[in-house]
Structure 1
Amino acid sequence: MKEQKGVGRMWHLYKMGGITPALASMMGAQNAQQMAFIRSMSKEQRKDSIMDRPLSEMEVVVFDLETTGFYPTNGDEILSFGAVLLKGGQLMEDQSFYSLVNPRRKVPKHITELTGITNEMVQDAPDLMQVLHDFMEFIGKRLLIAHASGHDKHFLNAALWRTSKVNLTHRVLDTMMVAKWLDPGRTNYNLDDLLDQAGIAITQRHHALEDSVMTAKLWLNYLRRMLDRNVVTLGDLYAYLSKH
């Protein structure tokens, strides 16, 4: 009960404009600064319209998360963040982001087998707030791209709300949805099969950065095909996707 009153007092002070001293005293100065940054990023993102920007010139970030399971509301946690920058049709592999996260819980055996991430690897990793802050700093106000993005958006939203009481305001474009428009009638749209179809080498699956790089290469393949169809802006693409 005492803890709940403390949290309530913190949010009262936030609404009254006393966010910095309130958080600094209850969360620590570093966490307070990280939270303030994340909140300001969310607010600024809402001001920026990107629908008229040419796809061939846009800077976008392709990202992926590895997690302990499928349900952040049931105790599952993010284990790693991976992301890579694209500038128009160019993959900037030297401008990438990767970090493990200490999930504050045991990594299930089947997740270790799938991802290669062990309890020993994450025990000294930074906490969620730190990595989330660094990830948001890396992506800036850019469009986000992910494959089968529902899972990643679900966890990212849960992390943003838990740490900073904000929702994700970035647009997230799903390469699976683009694939369904470009290649209708396929029996499945999993990443492995789409990479194989596009002739993209599969390196290390279920590694957040490697999956991001492979998905980025898939996006570049789709970008060329979209431009050939005279789909020029992000708004053009969303108009086509809305019909499929």
Structure 2
Amino acid sequence: MNNQPGFDGNLKQFMNRLFNLGLKRGEVPPGSPGSFQHEAWIRRLLKEKASRRADLNTRLEDVLFIILDTETTGFRPEHGDQIFSVAATRIKNRSILGEFHSLINPGIEIPKEISLLTGITTNDVKEAPPLDEKAEEILDFLSGGIIIGYHIAHDYSFLNHYLWRRYRSSLKQPSLELALLMERLTGSGTFPSLDSAAKYFNIPCHNRHQADADVKIMSSLWRNLLRLCIEKGIETLEDLYIHIK
């Protein structure tokens, strides 16, 4: 038996890390928490989970797409900027299967210019849970589908920075950029902002730069784009990837 001070606390912390990754209790292996073998095992299992997704021959109506947006205190997670709001919607065959939204306590002040943009202040997130407490729920909601968003690289960079810092891992599933999809599927030039894309389809833009509101806009946008796919004879994932190359 290990009687070192803090061992039980370290074990509990490590087990929580595993469950935050979406692992079930029966999947947790025996051994020493924090060991190289454990970290390697986690990465391997996450990779296996990520591989259980639709292949290129899957018809679009059978693919789960997950619309994602985050609000952050800045643009540089490596310089300490943090997530303070996360929202996502699961869509299959143009039907909404589920919605998620949570404010996050970033542990730092939200800059005034960001509050002016989003309408969310430091006081608004003071009682919100930290990202550590919501990570399991967020990762579970994002699992099993293709993630879509406007300027999705920004959202990925923040989530992956967190995952790497905490678990030495990252999101493995594919993502699609809505701005590129708009350009390729409409053939009407570039759409540098979500506002410009929404205007094309006459989608109302209320409460812009709030994650839950932006996800609602992007969900309407994606369902319109799926309709265009049907009109253009784009039936499978492979057809879609070829069309947007």
**Alignment root-mean-square deviation, CA:** 2.3
| Aligned match of 1:24 | 11
User: Are the equivalent residues in 1 in contact too, given 2:19–2:136 (CA < 8 A)?
Assistant: no
Matches within 5 A, 1:1-244: 23-24=10-11, 27=13, 29-35=15-21, 37=23, 40-92=45-97, 95-184=98-187, 186=189, 188-242=191-245
TM-score (norm 2): 0.82
Change (3 A) 1:117 1:165: same
**Aligned AA (1:65):** T
Q: How many residues align?
A: 220
- Runs of 4+ with deviation above 6 angstroms: none
| Aligned match of 2:30 | none
TM-score (norm 1): 0.82
1:96 is paired with a residue whose SS is: strand
1:104 is paired with a residue whose SS is: coil
Report the CA distance between 1:140 and its aligned residue: 2.2
Cα distance in 2 between the residues matched to 1:228 and 1:33? 43
1:194 is paired with a residue whose SS is: helix
2:57 is paired with a residue whose SS is: coil
Cα distance in 2 between the residues matched to 1:53 and 1:23? 43
**Aligned AA (1:24):** L
Seq. identity, %: 29
| Aligned match of 1:11 | none
**Aligned AA (1:205):** R
User: Are the equivalent residues in 1 in contact too, given 2:69–2:214 (CA < 8 A)?
Assistant: yes
Report the CA distance between 1:104 and its aligned residue: 1.1
**Aligned AA (1:196):** K
Cα distance in 1 between the residues matched to 2:119 and 2:143? 29
Cα distance in 2 between the residues matched to 1:222 and 1:70? 28
Report the CA distance between 1:239 and its aligned residue: 1.3
For structure 1, the 5+ residue unaligned runs are 1-19
Report the CA distance between 1:31 and its aligned residue: 4.0
| Aligned match of 2:26 | none
